[in-house]
């Protein structure tokens, strides 16, 4: 079995920390979730606009409800580039493109670490909208390159960039790290950002439980099977800790993972943390966004569990 280099290196680089007597290996980084096509497909199987259920579908409804008002606030007459940060299958961009294109020329630019997602998004936008899609070397990219991408796309006809950061991707990141990257890429006078995210609710325990379902195991378990673990050597679990939902695997028996001349020895009882979701209250998130933006407007879902947030510098 070929051991995935990147995942192995992340484990080596980060090592483990001790929590009581338990060794906890923390590789909770969403860039490891979508490395292979099968992982991207497993994600879309959990959450997709097409699935007509789940948080993605709810967010899609929220977009459709508010996109008319949002597009009025985003437009200023010139052509507009929609930069879809972590585009996934791109389907949520469709109502945005629709609304904006009624009033200005629109180009769509998907950015994602997963080539499968980028291909899906390009296909979906072309099929639905027949809009201009920007294909260039930066489509398959980390978020570190946003400033570069933003400048490359701005020209006389398309001066304005409208960033989409949807699907609760913000909940999986170190907030200030990712917001700094995005804000740096935005032109203060003309650009806008639309965030779609999960908000903290009174029933976060129940939400954590839902993240422990098999469908999430099928998605996240692939990180560890790519370094040689077998499914029955691991036990999947979720917990609510320090306002974060954590997904982790407990190693059921000692295991040595070897790559070249290096190895990692896991012991029975070790925990491998693979995902964290941090949900904020509206007030907490607004306070954090005020560091980067002068305008922060919420479009909440009725039950308060999600919101769209429109931000301008």
Ligand X SMILES: C[S@@+](CC[C@H](N)C(=O)[O-])C[C@H]1O[C@@H](n2cnc3c(N)ncnc32)[C@H](O)[C@@H]1O
User: Which residues, in sequence order, are CB contacts of 150 under 8 Å at separation 6+?
Assistant: 83, 161, 185, 186, 187, 191
φ, ψ (nearest 5 deg) of residue 233: -95, 0
Which position among 16, 25, 143, 299 is part of the footprint of ligand X (CB under 6 A)? 143
CB atoms within 10 A of CB 86: 23
Determine if 86 is a binding residue for ligand X (CB under 6 A): yes
Is the CB of 30 or the CB of 225 nearer to ligand X?
30
Is the CB of 186 or the CB of 257 nearer to ligand X?
186
- In 82-189, which ranges are continuous DSSP H helix? 93-101, 115-129, 146-153, 175-185
Determine if 169 is a binding residue for ligand X (CB under 6 A): yes
Which of 26, 54, 51, 312 minimizes the C-alpha distance to 168? Answer: 54
Is the CB of 88 or the CB of 221 nearer to ligand X?
88
Is the CB of 170 or the CB of 208 nearer to ligand X?
170
Residue with tokens 């020895």: 265
Tokens of 109: 């630019």
Determine if 114 is a binding residue for ligand X (CB under 6 A): yes
Total residues contacting ligand X by CB under 6 A comes to 18
Stretch that binds ligand X, among 3-11, 162-170, 228-236, 256-264 (CB under 6 A): 162-170
Determine if 170 is a binding residue for ligand X (CB under 6 A): no
Q: DSSP assignment, residue 211?
A: T
Stretch that binds ligand X, among 113-121, 125-133, 247-255, 300-308 (CB under 6 A): 113-121
Determine if 117 is a binding residue for ligand X (CB under 6 A): yes
Stretch that binds ligand X, among 66-74, 82-90, 127-135, 197-205 (CB under 6 A): 82-90
Which position among 10, 112, 191, 270 is part of the footprint of ligand X (CB under 6 A)? 112
CB atoms within 10 A of CB 122: 19
Q: Please identify the residue of the shown chain whose CB is closest to the bound ligand X.
A: 167
Which position among 142, 189, 235, 287 is part of the footprint of ligand X (CB under 6 A)? 142
CB of 26 closer than 8 Å to CB of 241: no
Q: Burial code of 280-306, b = ≥16 C-beta within 10 A, e = fewer?
A: beeeebbeebeebbeebbebebeeebb
Is the CB of 92 or the CB of 216 nearer to ligand X?
92
User: Smallest gap, in angstroms, from Cβ of residue 294 to ligand X?
Assistant: 25
Determine if 219 is a binding residue for ligand X (CB under 6 A): no
CB of 121 closer than 8 Å to CB of 110: yes
Which of 110, 85, 68, 72 minimizes the C-alpha distance to 193? Answer: 85
Determine if 166 is a binding residue for ligand X (CB under 6 A): yes
Determine if 16 is a binding residue for ligand X (CB under 6 A): no
Residues binding ligand X (CB under 6 A): 30-31, 34, 56, 86-88, 92, 112-114, 117, 142-143, 166-169
């Amino acid at each position: 079995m070929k051991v995935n280099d990147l995942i192995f290196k992340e484990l080596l680089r980060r090592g483990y920390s001790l929590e009581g007597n338990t060794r906890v290996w923390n590789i909770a980084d969403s860039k490891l979730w979508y490395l292979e096509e099968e992982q991207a497909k497993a994600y879309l199987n959990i959450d997709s606009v097409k699935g007509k259920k789940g948080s993605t579908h709810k967010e899609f409804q929220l977009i459709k409800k508010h996109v008319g008002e949002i597009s009025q606030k985003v437009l200023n007459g010139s052509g507009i580039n929609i930069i879809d940060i972590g585009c996934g299958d791109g389907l949520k961009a469709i109502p945005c493109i629709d609304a904006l294109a009624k009033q200005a020329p629109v180009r769509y630019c998907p950015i994602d670490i997963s080539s499968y997602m980028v291909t899906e998004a390009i296909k979906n936008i072309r099929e639905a909208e027949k809009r201009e899609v920007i294909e260039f070397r930066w489509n398959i990219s980390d978020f570190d390159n946003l400033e570069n991408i933003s400048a490359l796309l701005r020209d006389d006809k398309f001066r304005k960039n409208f960033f989409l950061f949807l699907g609760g991707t913000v909940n999986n990141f170190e907030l200030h790290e990712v917001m700094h990257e995005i804000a740096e890429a935005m032109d203060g006078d003309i650009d806008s950002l639309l965030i779609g995210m999960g908000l903290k609710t009174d029933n976060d325990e129940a939400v954590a439980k839902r993240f422990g379902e098999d469908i999430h195991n099928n998605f996240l378990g692939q990180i560890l099977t790519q370094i040689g673990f077998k499914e029955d050597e691991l036990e999947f679990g979720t917990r609510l800790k320090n306002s974060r939902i954590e997904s982790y695997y407990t190693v059921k028996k000692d295991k040595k993972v070897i790559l070249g001349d290096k190895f990692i020895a896991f012991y029975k009882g070790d925990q491998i943390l693979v995902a964290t979701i941090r949900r904020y209250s509206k007030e907490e998130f607004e306070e954090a966004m005020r560091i980067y933006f002068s305008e922060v407007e919420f479009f909440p879902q009725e039950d308060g569990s999600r919101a769209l947030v429109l931000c301008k510098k």
